Copies of this chain bind each other. A is one copy, B any other.
Amino acid sequence: MMIGEVAEKTGFSVHTLRYYEKIGLLPETLRDAGGRRVYGPDVLVWLEFVERLKQIGMPIRDRVRYAEMRAQGDSTISARRELLQTYRDDLAKRVASLSETLDVLDAKIATYETAAKCNGASR
């Protein structure tokens, strides 16, 4: 796979993919004779996971840290577990809080609908 295809499949832009490689979030890839990056299919799985880490609000620095540990192999497993655990617990709280906000929004929207109806009826 060339970089354009990876971009298309993952939703990251070509620029972003090169940027991710530069900061160490993606491993350095093989190059073809012309110096162009050639990716294996594994990168898609990894990028999908990175996208998840991004969506839970893990800052890029920690994503890089995680990527570096992953590259170092099994010796970093417990550190990786701890890192994920921290974000997992945080995420659980955030999901709870967001669910609550969902209810608040629904209530607010409901009052707006009532208000609109009353206006409509009275005029």
Q: Are B81 and A113 in contact (CB under 8 A)?
A: yes
Within 8 A of B (CB), among A5-36: none
Interface of A (DSSP majority class): helix
Q: Are A112 and B52 in contact (CB under 8 A)?
A: no
Report the interface size for chain A: residues with CB under 8 A from the other chain: 32
Q: Are B91 and A98 in contact (CB under 8 A)?
A: yes
User: A: which residues have CB within 8 A of B?
Assistant: 49, 52, 55-56, 74, 77-78, 80-81, 84-85, 87-88, 91-92, 94-95, 97-99, 101-102, 104-106, 108-109, 112-113, 115-116, 119
Q: Are A52 and B87 in contact (CB under 8 A)?
A: no
What are the residues of chain B within 8 A of A88 when measuring CB–CB? 102, 105-106, 109
